[in-house]
């Protein structure tokens, strides 16, 4: 990356990765990404966030083009996921005098990321760091944006805040500032994808993070992926968008989606009977029966996370529940839906592992699991239909 001077003392010195198409195993990066890092040059030289381990050689050249690494006084780690901390070990080899600062949780993680016990200093909410020239940096804790360790670093003298993943995007253009973005439409698309993937599970924390951000005067937001956001360009709009995307959904009626897959229609049939049972108790409930194979995953992800209770239906195939149902479960925001009422059902042939496996998983995710689900061997009989109806009824009665 060409080094970009953001302000008199601040340089953007991160690395571009235009070709990556998937990050963190599951996050789409259609437009590549960048691993941003910032250098404040002055009486004290300070690095904020480092970079992905694969790009250290390029990164250290960027650092060297602004300052001799042996002259770095502090490395501030706002968040220690390895896309930011993965190069820290190598960096410290050429900057052994640098003191590493992070949140309390961040220092704990660093011990197991660098496999080195000491050498980190934990900073607290509101703590300041004197950087000389009458200037200081202030630390603001911002847990779960994206990990429990996350904090922001505020540079009042430059009206600038460093937010790591928060307000970032997996988007790669060589000029790192929003006013130079060539394809704004594409950027906004990537900003949304990134937000859903990284912050979808942490929406209440996003709203708190925004409040925190708005409590200081910050005209320039420096995230650690994608372009820097500036007042009068993308900053206001980006803040508005994530605020809108983080509002809790409200339903007038009880919303109870039933997600299922079915090879021959037997599990489908059970879904219908269970739904009738639910409606016999809550007449105006919005019970939506959805074949998981017929809807895009992001639509289903929204629905599995925003409901009053939900059910999963799967036949047993090869001693397992079917992959689309597992896939759907992987989108659950475990923090937000702790304690939600849920259960599972399905038709099976001989061994019937699907339902108990799903229930175990739901319990592991700390949901409130109802009974031991409902199962039927092969084709449901009239009695099974009644039992499925009754299962739906009992499920609804406890809501
Ligand atoms: C490829 C395949 C593998 C299966 N493996 C199992 C199994 O391991 N254990 C079991 O109990 N049933 C197994 N079954 C039987 C189905 O669970 C059973 O036919 C069920 O009634 C299908 O319900 P559905 O119409 O809702 O898909 C298998 C069926 C298929 C087609
Ligand atoms: Fe992260
Ligand atoms: Fe990140």
Distances (CA, A) of 236 to 12, 196, 239, 240: 21, 19, 5, 6
CA 351–ligand 1 middle distance (angstroms): 9
- Euclidean distance between CA atoms 62 and 53, whole angstroms: 15
Phi, psi of 31 (to 5 degrees): -110, 25
Distance CA 270, CA 287 (A): 14
Three-state DSSP class for residue 288: strand
Average pLDDT on 208-232 reads 98
Ligand nearest to the CA of 168: 3
Rounded distance between C-alpha atoms, residue 179 and residue 218, angstroms: 17
List all residues 6 or more positions away from 376 whose beta carbon is below 8 Å from its beta carbon: 266, 270, 346, 347, 348, 384, 388
348 CA: nearest ligand 1 atom: 17
Which residue ranges form the domains of the chain, and what is each CATH number?
4-245 (3.60.15.10), 255-397 (3.40.50.360)
- Tell me the C-alpha to C-alpha distance, in Å, between residue 63 and each of 9, 55, 93, 161, 276: 14, 12, 14, 20, 65
Kind and range of the H or E element at 89?
helix 88-94
Predicted local distance difference test score (pLDDT) of residue 1: 53
Helix (H) or strand (E) holding 112: helix 104-113
Q: What is the distance between the alpha carbons of residues 75 and 365, in angstroms, rounded to a whole number?
A: 36
**What number does the ligand 1 atom closest to the CA of 265 have?**
25
List, for residues 68-117, the tens digit of each pLDDT value.
Answer: 999 999 999 999 999 999 999 999 999 999 999 999 999 999 999 999 99
- Both tokens of 227, joined, read 């372009």
- Which ligand 1 atom lies nearest to the CA of residue 377? 21
The pLDDT of residue 25 is 66
352: left (phi over 0), alpha (psi -120 to 50) or beta: left
The answer to which of 91-100, 192-201, 219-228, 323-332 has the lowest mean pLDDT is: 192-201
| H-helix or E-strand spanning residue 362 | helix 354-364
Q: In this predicted model, what pLDDT tens digit does every residue of 231-274 receive, in sequence order?
A: 999 999 999 999 999 998 777 899 999 999 999 999 999 999 99
Mean pLDDT for the chain? 95
Structure-block tokens of residue 323: 């992959």
Q: Average pLDDT in the 167-192 region?
A: 94
pLDDT tens string 274-331: 999 999 999 999 999 999 999 998 889 989 999 999 999 999 999 999 999 999 999 8
- Specify the DSSP class assigned to residue 248: P
Residue in 341, 338, 345 with CA at minimum distance from that of residue 364? 338
**What value, to the nearest 5°, has the Cα angle with vertex 325 and ends 324 and 331?**
95
Identify which of 263, 345, 350, 378 to mutate to test ligand 1's pocket (most ligand atoms within 8 A of the CB). 263
Which of 165-169, 171-175, 214-218, 372-376 bottoms out in mean pLDDT, i.e. has the lowest? 171-175
pTM of the model: 0.83
Identify which of 136, 163, 142, 170 has the alpha carbon closest to the alpha carbon of residue 17. 170
Mean pLDDT confidence for 210-235? 98
Test site for ligand 1: of 266, 349, 388, most ligand atoms within 8 A of the Cβ: 349
pLDDT value, residue 121: 97
């Amino acid at each position: 990356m060409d080094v970009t001077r953001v302000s008199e003392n601040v340089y953007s010195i991160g690395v571009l990765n235009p070709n990556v198409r998937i990050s963190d195993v599951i996050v789409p990066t259609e437009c590549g990404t960048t691993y941003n890092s910032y250098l404040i040059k002055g009486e004290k030289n300070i690095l904020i966030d480092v970079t992905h381990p694969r790009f250290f050689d390029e990164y250290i050249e960027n650092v060297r083009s602004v300052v001799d690494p042996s002259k770095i006084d502090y490395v501030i780690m706002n968040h220690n996921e390895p896309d930011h901390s993965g190069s820290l070990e190598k960096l410290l080899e050429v900057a052994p005098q640098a003191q590493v600062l992070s949140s309390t949780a961040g220092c704990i993680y660093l011990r197991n990321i660098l496999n080195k016990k000491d050498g980190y200093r934990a900073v607290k909410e509101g703590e300041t760091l004197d950087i000389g020239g009458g200037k200081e940096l202030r630390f603001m804790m911002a847990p779960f944006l994206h990990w429990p360790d996350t904090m922001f670093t505020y540079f009042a003298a430059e009206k600038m805040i460093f937010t790591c993943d928060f307000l970032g995007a997996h988007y790669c253009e060589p000029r790192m500032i929003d006013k130079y973005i060539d394809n704004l439409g594409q950027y906004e698309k990537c900003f949304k994808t990134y937000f859903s993937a990284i912050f979808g599970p942490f929406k209440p924390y996003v709203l708190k993070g925004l409040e925190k951000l708005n409590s200081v005067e910050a005209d320039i937001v420096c995230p650690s992926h994608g372009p820097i956001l500036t007042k009068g360009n993308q900053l206001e709009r980006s803040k508005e968008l994530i605020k809108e995307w983080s509002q809790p959904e409200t339903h007038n009626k009880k919303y109870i989606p039933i997600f299922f897959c079915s090879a021959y229609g037997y599990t489908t049939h059970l879904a219908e009977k269970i739904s009738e049972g639910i409606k016999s108790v809550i007449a105006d409930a919005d019970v939506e029966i959805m074949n998981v194979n017929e809807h895009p995953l992001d639509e289903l992800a929204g629905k599995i996370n925003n409901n009053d209770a939900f059910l999963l239906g799967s036949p047993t195939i090869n001693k397992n529940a079917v992959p689309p149902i597992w896939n759907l479960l992987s989108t659950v925001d475990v923090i937000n839906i702790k304690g939600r009422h849920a259960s599972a059902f399905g038709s099976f042939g001989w061994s019937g592992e699907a339902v108990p496996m799903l229930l175990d998983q739901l319990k592991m995710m700390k949901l409130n699991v109802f009974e031991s689900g409902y199962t039927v061997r092969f084709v449901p009989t009239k009695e099974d239909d009644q039992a499925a109806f009754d299962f739906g009824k009992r499920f609804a009665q406890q809501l």
